[in-house]
Amino acid sequence: MSTETVKISRLGAQGDGVAQTETGHVYAAFTLPGETVTLAVDRTHGTLMSLKEASPQRVEPKCRHFGPEGVNGTCGGCTLQHASDELYHAFKRSLVIDALKSKGLTPEVGPLIIARPGERRRVVFTARRTEKELLLGYNQAESHHIVAISECPITSPGIVSRLATIRRIAAAMASSAEPFRITVLETETGLDLAAEGIKLSDKQRRTTVETVLGERGIARVSLNGEIIVEPVKPAIGFGGVTVSPPPGSFTQATREAEEAMAERVLGHVGKSKRVADLFSGIGTFALRIARTARVHAVESEDKALKALDFAARKTQGLKPITIEKRDLFRRPMMVQELKVFDAVVFDPPRAGAEAQCHELARSSVKKIAAVSCNPVTLARDLSILVAAGYRITSVTPIDQFLWSAHVEAVATLEK
């Protein structure tokens, strides 16, 4: 461990400031390009000790839980609240541009679709019972320490206003000092709380049910995928189609980002007659596309597919939707299967869709829309398709996780 005064040259991929020292690169949170700072340096990690010369791009954080001076510790939910919008937005867009360049791809990358405070409808809290209280908040970065929050500017007012309610429900479920996770999704009918990592006794189960029924605005509480109490079915809308998501299922974190993605996907698919939606989840794109085209939705999670199918069956005016449970990592759709589709949409997890792209590369599918939460794997997947004759027609970076180093992107391709 040493103390060094250094100049920050740029932002790294995780949002930390990067300084070049005699021993190599050092990464320091809460610093910005152009700043002179004193760091406590441990190999490649620097802890900010003092700010000698601040960047003109430095702004006051929006949340009192943020930064080295944060209340109860440094909340790990945000990394870039101290950066100006200009610097922050350029950084997010550069993550996509740089990833594509690393694979030799230089398409025009559109302006960033920005995120605003209060848009997050899905958040993941950590909870733990102590001798004095129930802690509810986010883990400190690279730590198991829970920063108990009393505000959260990125999260929707519908969730923030019910933090006390969520805390009471978590307290009813907590049986020990072991931490557990609670995913909170704001739906049209109330909050959907999905807990993971604990067990409930019969007494705790009854207490949880009584607590939930005594609170307002709670649609459902589940534990490890099992519904504990459901006063009303959670409901979210996809282009006018109402879906009841399974407990803990994946949804896009903000409605605004989801709409931006869907607009670009639907615009590219256009008048296609048959579309395959791969990694379809509960139907974010499939149910919208079915307004104008036949859709084959492929997903590995059985409960997600059933939710999609049920929503489609009870909605009038949709074209036929077929569903298939399939692990596309192990068993991608093959060239022969793809030949009946005019367009393909894929929205995989962070690992991307490498195996599927190798099959798409050999196919005659005219249009592809690729949605990704990881620019690195997106660039890899697009390079496979471009090498096989596809042309990238647009790339749009979308900020869904405000003040973080994560960025979504939608890329469209034609053959």
pLDDT score at 90: 98
DSSP secondary structure letter of residue 155: B
Query: Binding residue per annotation — 98?
Result: no
Question: What are 87's two structure tokens?
Answer: 């610097």
Q: Rounded distance, CA 125 to CA 19, Å? A: 33
Domain spanning 91-115+254-414: CATH superfamily: Vaccinia Virus protein VP39 (3.40.50.150)
Catalytic residues: 373
Query: Binding residue per annotation — 356?
Result: no
Q: Rounded distance, CA 149 to CA 113, Å? A: 28
Q: Is the pLDDT of residue 175 over 90?
A: no
Q: Rounded distance, CA 344 to CA 353, Å? A: 12
Q: Work out whether strand 343-346 and strand 408-414 pair parallel, antiparallel, or are unpaired.
A: unpaired
3-state secondary structure of 199: coil
Q: Is the pLDDT of residue 71 over 90?
A: no
Domains 1-57 and 122-236 equal at CATH topology level? yes
Q: Where are the domains of the chain?
A: 1-57, 91-115+254-414, 122-236
pLDDT score at 145: 87
| DSSP string covering 122-149 | EEEEEEEE-SS-EEEEEEBTTSS-EEE-
With beta carbons less than 8 A apart as the criterion, state whether 169 and 221 touch.
yes
pLDDT tens profile 83-108 = 999 999 999 999 999 999 999 999 99
- pLDDT > 70 fraction of the chain, expressed in percent and rounded: 99
pLDDT score at 361: 98
pLDDT score at 337: 98
pLDDT tens profile 130-162 = 988 899 999 887 778 899 998 999 999 999 999
Using alpha carbons, list the distances in angstroms from residue 335 to 48, 293, 344, 345, 394. 53, 21, 12, 15, 24
| Residue 136 CB burial class (10 angstroms; 0-12, 13-18, ≥19) | buried
CATH topology of domain 1-57: OB fold (Dihydrolipoamide Acetyltransferase, E2P) (2.40.50)
Q: Please tell me which residue, 71 or 306, carries the higher pLDDT value.
A: 306
With beta carbons less than 8 A apart as the criterion, state whether 103 and 386 touch.
no
DSSP secondary structure letter of residue 64: T
pTM over 0.85: yes
Instruction: Give the CA angle between residues 372, 376, 381 to the nearest 5°.
Output: 65
pLDDT score at 142: 73
pLDDT score at 72: 65
The matching CATH number, chosen from 2.40.50.1070, 3.40.640.10, 3.20.20.60, 2.40.50.100, for 122-236 is 2.40.50.1070
Average pLDDT, integer, range 234-252:
96
Average pLDDT, integer, range 387-408:
97
pLDDT tens profile 316-347 = 999 999 999 999 999 999 999 999 999 999 99
